[in-house]
């Protein structure tokens, strides 16, 4: 194999390209590790240097292609995720957000976006929670869409097979109800797998598509931390546009909209901090109240979601 050149200058060029393409800031300490993993990618393209690879990536941006980008992205993304990550937010979603939507939406449809979804654990977790919703969703159309830029992660999400480590925060009863044991891990049962759809897309360059509008809840956890402030702002503005009035945004624990001048209303409960896109003025509810439920129903924004008299139904650590 002819020798392949990867210089420090070329690595820095790639780092800049990656950041402008998808927002991810590759840490300088990771560049050496990246260098070794890039050599097979450069070689597979029949190129002689990382500089040439950068030229190919630039050309792809110009022509709206992503074939070679798809071989580079898995090297720079951080896909860490697992089922039932950040339990407090998930309880808030199940016990307050979903009932609030059911109590206020006139159209019996709930659209949820998990972006980024990595290998799918988050969308499938949401599907499990909705399957056990404290309010009846009978007669409702519920859509869960997972988006991630990494083609390998999306491939894993669609395969719906998970290693044991993905279950480190999962109660056994969920694993036995929604998964089938297979060698080396567990597969999502078809009834649950059919409740989530997946799409590979760059959140900095989403196609114009009606399917990407009108969400009631967006989970975007543990991605913005890798972006600079300007890119965070751009993505948050986009989420605002993608949400219905009265819709909700959940960010990761170490992410917030602090310092951003945004229209979102801050929601604080004993379980979670999250955001609401203000509802349109005037009555919005024509749907009946849910027929069963253990959580108080409130129109978004009319009172705190938690507080005295609305103690969490579950203790921390279980869901
Ligand atoms: C740490 S994972 C978070 C997964 C999940 N939300 C969670 O909290 O467990 C971060 C994901 O962000 C994705 N990502 C980074 N930049 C992206 C972009 N511009 N568009 C879509 N996904 C992106 C990565 O591919 C990676 O899978």
Distance of CA 263 to the CA centre of its chain: 21
* Whether 69 and 103 share a structural domain: no
Which of 61, 148, 167 has the most ligand 1 atoms within 8 A of CB, as the residue to mutate?
148
Range(s) of the domain holding residue 48: 8-76
- In angstroms, rounded to a whole number, what is the distance separating the alpha carbons of residues 139 and 105? 13
Q: How many residues does the chain have?
A: 319
* Whether 51 and 116 share a structural domain: no
* Whether 155 and 182 share a structural domain: yes
Q: Determine whether the shortest distance from the Cβ of 110 to ligand 1 is under 6 A.
A: no
Is position 318 within any domain? no
Peptide bond into 116 cis (omega under 30): yes
Q: Determine whether the shortest distance from the Cβ of 257 to ligand 1 is under 6 A.
A: no
* Whether 121 and 183 share a structural domain: yes
Is position 308 within any domain? no
At 217, give phi and psi (nearest 5°): -140, 135
* Whether 187 and 115 share a structural domain: yes
* Whether 230 and 135 share a structural domain: yes
Tell me the helices (H) and strands (E) count for the chain, helix number first: 11, 10
Give the pLDDT score at 281.
Answer: 83
Contact 303/96 with Cβ under 8 angstroms? no
Q: Determine whether the shortest distance from the Cβ of 218 to ligand 1 is under 6 A.
A: no
Give the pLDDT score at 2.
Answer: 65
Is position 60 within any domain? yes
CA 38 – ligand 1 centroid, Å = 20
Contact 278/240 with Cβ under 8 angstroms? no
Q: What is the CATH number of the domain that holds 98?
A: 3.40.50.150
- In angstroms, rounded to a whole number, what is the distance separating the alpha carbons of residues 90 and 125? 9
Contact 278/302 with Cβ under 8 angstroms? no
CA 311 – ligand 1 centroid, Å = 33
Residues 18-71 have pLDDT tens digits of: 999 999 999 999 999 999 999 999 999 999 999 999 999 999 999 999 999 999
Residues 261-281 have pLDDT tens digits of: 889 999 999 999 999 999 988
* Whether 197 and 265 share a structural domain: yes
Q: By alpha-carbon position, which residue is closest to atom 24 of ligand 1?
A: 77
Q: What is the CATH number of the domain that holds 61?
A: 1.10.155
Q: Determine whether the shortest distance from the Cβ of 221 to ligand 1 is under 6 A.
A: yes
Q: Determine whether the shortest distance from the Cβ of 22 to ligand 1 is under 6 A.
A: yes
- Total structural domains within the chain: 2
Burial class (CB in 10 A: 0-12, 13-18, 19+), 110: buried
Is position 204 within any domain? yes
* Low-confidence residues of the chain: pLDDT under 70: 1-2, 282-319
Give the pLDDT score at 251.
Answer: 98
* Whether 104 and 186 share a structural domain: yes
* Whether 189 and 71 share a structural domain: no
Is position 307 within any domain? no
* Whether 38 and 106 share a structural domain: no
In the listed set 45, 76, 107, which residue is the last one of a domain according to the structure?
76
Residues 253-262 have pLDDT tens digits of: 999 999 998 8
Assigned token pair, 275: 């955001």
Is position 287 within any domain? no
pTM above 0.85, yes or no: yes
Is position 134 within any domain? yes
Distances (CA, A) of 292 to 53, 99, 112, 129, 141: 58, 10, 22, 16, 18
Q: Determine whether the shortest distance from the Cβ of 122 to ligand 1 is under 6 A.
A: yes
* Whether 124 and 157 share a structural domain: yes
The enclosing H or E element of 243 equals strand 243-251
Assigned token pair, 216: 């009631």
Q: By alpha-carbon position, which residue is closest to atom 2 of ligand 1?
A: 79
Q: Percent of the chain scored above 70 by pLDDT?
A: 87
Question: Which residue in 225, 234, 242 sits closest to 114, CA to CA?
Answer: 242
Is position 317 within any domain? no
In the listed set 48, 76, 104, which residue is the last one of a domain according to the structure?
76
CA 155 – ligand 1 centroid, Å = 14
* Whether 154 and 59 share a structural domain: no
Q: List b or e across 46-59, with b for residues whose CB sees 16 or more CB atoms inside 10 angstroms.
A: ebeebbbbbebbee
């Amino acid at each position: 194999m002819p020798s392949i050149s990867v210089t420090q200058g070329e690595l820095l060029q790639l780092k800049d390209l990656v950041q402008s393409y998808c927002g991810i800031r590759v840490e300088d300490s990771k560049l050496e590790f990246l260098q070794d993993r890039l050599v097979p990618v450069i070689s597979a393209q029949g190129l002689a240097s990382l500089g040439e690879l950068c030229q190919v990536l630039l050309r792809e941006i110009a022509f709206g292609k992503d074939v070679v980008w798809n071989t580079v992205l898995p090297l720079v993304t951080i896909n860490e995720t697992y089922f039932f990550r950040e339990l407090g937010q998930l309880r808030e979603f199940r016990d307050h957000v979903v009932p609030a939507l059911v109590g206020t939406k006139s159209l019996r449809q709930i659209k949820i976006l998990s972006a980024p979804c990595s290998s799918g654990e988050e969308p499938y977790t949401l599907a499990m929670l909705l399957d056990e919703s404290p309010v009846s969703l009978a007669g409702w159309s519920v859509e869960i869409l997972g988006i991630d830029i990494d083609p390998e992660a999306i491939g894993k999400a669609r395969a719906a097979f998970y290693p044991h480590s993905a279950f480190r925060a999962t109660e056994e009863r969920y694993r036995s109800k929604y998964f089938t044991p297979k060698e080396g891990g567990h597969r999502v049962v078809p009834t649950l797998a059919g409740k989530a759809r997946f799409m590979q897309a760059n959140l900095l360059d989403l196609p114009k598509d009606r399917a990407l509008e009108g969400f009631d809840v967006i989970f975007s956890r543990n991605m913005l931390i890798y972006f600079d402030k300007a890119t965070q702002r751009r993505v948050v503005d986009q989420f605002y546009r993608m949400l219905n009035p009265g819709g909700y945004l959940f960010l990761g624990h170490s992410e917030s909209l602090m310092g951003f001048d945004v229209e979102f209303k801050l929601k604080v409960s004993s379980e979670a901090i999250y955001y609401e896109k203000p509802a349109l003025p005037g009555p919005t509810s024509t749907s009946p109240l849910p027929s069963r439920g253990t959580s108080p129903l409130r129109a978004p924004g009319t009172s705190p979601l938690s507080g005295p008299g609305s103690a969490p139904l579950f203790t921390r650590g279980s869901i």
